[in-house]
Amino acid sequence: RERLEKSGQRSITALVDISNYVMLEAGRPTHVFDLDRVHGGLEVRWAKKGETLKLLNGNTVVLDESVGVIAETKTGAVESLAGIMGGDSTAVSLETQNVYVEAAFWHPLAIQGRARRFNFSTDAGHRFERGVDWETIPAHLDRISALILEICGGQAGPIDDQIINVPQRKPVTMRIARAQKVIGVAVAADEMASIFTRLGLTHTRTGITTADGGDAFIVTPPSYRFDIEIEEDLIEEIARIYGFDNIPALPPIARAAMHAQPEGTRSLHELRAAVAACDYFETINYSFVDKAWEHELLGNTDPINLLNPIASQMAVMRSSLIPGLLAIVQYNVSHKADRVRVFELGKVFKRDASVTDGPLAVAGITQPLKLAGMAFGGAVAEQWASQKRTADFYDVKGDLAAMLPDGAHFVAAEHPLLHPGRSAKIELNQVTIGWIGELHPKHLSRFELTSAPIVFEVEVAPLQQRSLTVHGAVSKQPLVRRDIALVVANSVNSDELVDSLMAGAPAFVRSVDVFDVYRGAALPEGKKSVAIRVLMQDTERTLADTEIEGACQQMLSKAQEQHGATLRA
């Protein structure tokens, strides 16, 4: 009992203690049945779907065809979870008179993951799923029987030795030249043979040159070495015993060549740096999220469920990065942070029947890379030079617009996670690539937030594409500015209005930008006034007044044709 306690095992009863003691000695678990409580014989089989078993720990588990069991032959009742834990109905106690000791080899593939499926772990399962020695089972039974007779008394019965199917230990070939090349040291063949001998590995040396690499050792792994299956396993053993300290640390001699990065593609590192430069901190979250987040926040009624989640609140794969960022903001706010700006670049997971299996793909699931960010609290850190104000939609829109490719537009739209009327989708070539907006008020109480953060999520692939810089001569001619106030319907998008003006502009128009929007008195109902700044310049000559006025008329005609725009009186 003292030895068990020093080994981290608590004492239970004499029979259980003996079983645990020999398990620590031999590395193989055993199980002791109360023979008087077994009806008929015992058989090993796969469980039947729906069968139940009350275990020694008091839990009752529901079994299926993938779990091995030991069952009674007479009643068919399951008495033990094979290689993991015994059943309560045949457990030994202080009143036990007759016992049946089971020492078996359970194949690792038949044990791996079974205990975790039932949310517990055992010493037996831990050992069997890694492999145990099957050749010493009779000696193991002799040892445990001797201890039972010595401590508990009684009389030993015969051994029922059943050898049905055990793994075959196939010989593994290790090429001497290959081992020397991988290790980086010319370890002598005699030294290799000595190492195999010291490790108890039966080996022979071919001594001949073969087409695939020359002289080699053929090693037959013993029954207790489940970790030796391929040539690299033997090379590892050579390096380990030879001594890593004896392997010199030499610099590589390969000629390294730097590959040029395409100028039109922004790397993920550059993208992260660009977002960080806008005062956002990067976070890394789990890809597993709470199922309720998918249902309630994103309206995803069919998320991708995990077969074996590590926790109940991490049961499905995320289809958006935003809920994870909300949890980060909630955590920081609960610790008295009044300004939080975070972002994450990572994959999301959605169902897509068109996706097929591949090296980095799973059939039926698309895994796009997304960039999401969130700003909560002040637009800038509190300071003397700037009046305190809360970050709004346009602050975050400006941060995001600096990273979007040319041609991207913000279009007013609604999203289940965002505030109606304060959200927009991001379009590129009439395809939605992301969303931006203020968090919906109904989600504030769930995350214990006093004000709504501004969030965005956009696909990474379009962000990586950028236009190449085009160099031009600096004009010596004066820059001409014209301000135009256009009256349009409230439904007209400012980006679309600017695009229509640019479509009708001559080549010397440098930029067209909105600098003010007015709604109110002196305007017809349902209308707004959009003030636009037009900059014009030619690199070769000074623009004439007629050219300037003609350009303004061309742009106005285009805006009037597409959006019914009129000049404000």
The model's pLDDT over 415-458, given as tens digits with 9 standing for 90+, comes to 989 998 899 999 998 899 999 999 999 888 888 888 899 999 99
Residue type, 301: T
pLDDT at 215 over 90: no
Instruction: Give the 3-state secondary structure of residue 319.
Output: coil
Mean pLDDT, rounded, for 278-285: 94
Q: Which two tokens stand for residue 366?
A: 């698309």
425: three-class secondary structure by DSSP: strand
- Give the integer Cα–Cα distance in Å for 140 and 120: 27
CA-nearest of 239, 198, 196, 236 to 217 is 196
Helix, strand, coil: what percent of the chain each, to 5?
30, 25, 45
Q: Give yes or no for a contact between 416 and 298, defined as CB atoms under 8 angstroms apart.
A: yes
**Cβ atoms within 10 Å of 447's Cβ, excluding its own:** 17
From residue 221, alpha-carbon distances to 156, 233, 236, 567 in Å are 34, 11, 14, 90
- Label residue 213 by pLDDT band (50, 70, 90): low
Name the amino acid, one letter, at 360.
Answer: L
The per-residue pLDDT for 212 is 57
The b/e string for 273-287 (b: 16+ C-beta within 10 A; e otherwise) is ebbeebebeebebeb
* pLDDT (mean) for 379-395: 88
pLDDT for 166 equals: 83
CA 125 from chain center: how many Å? 27
Within 8 A by CB and 6+ apart from 497, the residues are 486, 488, 514, 530, 532, 559, 563, 565
Average of per-residue pLDDT across 170-199: 92
Residue 60 has pLDDT above 80, yes or no: yes
72-76, 305-309, 369-373, 487-491 — most confident range: 369-373
Tens of pLDDT, residues 190-209 = 999 999 999 999 999 887 76
pTM summary value: 0.61
Mean pLDDT, range 462-474, rounded to an integer: 84
Q: What is the CA radius of gyration of the chain?
A: 37
> What are 521-555's pLDDT values in tens digits?
888 888 999 999 999 998 888 999 999 999 999 99
In 3D space, the residue among 503, 522, 523 whose CA is nearest the CA of residue 563 turns out to be 503
Q: Cα(494)–Cα(513) distance, rounded to whole angstroms?
A: 9
Asked if 400 contacts 373 with a C-beta cutoff of 8 angstroms, the reply is yes
Instruction: Check pLDDT > 90 for residue 234.
Output: yes
> Residue 218 above 90 pLDDT?
yes
Residue 569 has pLDDT above 80, yes or no: no
DSSP character for 244?
A: G
Contact 178, 189 (CB under 8 A): no
- pLDDT score recorded for residue 211: 55
User: Do residues 515 and 481 lie in contact, with contact meaning Cβ atoms separated by under 8 Å?
Assistant: no
Among candidates 293, 342, 335, which has minimal Cα distance to 448? 335
**pLDDT tens, residue by residue, 115-163:** 888 888 888 999 998 888 888 899 999 999 999 999 998 888 888 888 8
- The rounded distance, in Å, linking the Cα atoms of 78 and 128 is 20
Q: What integer pLDDT is reported at residue 516 of this predicted model?
A: 93
pLDDT of residue 304: 92
Q: Are 456 and 396 in contact (CB under 8 A)?
A: yes
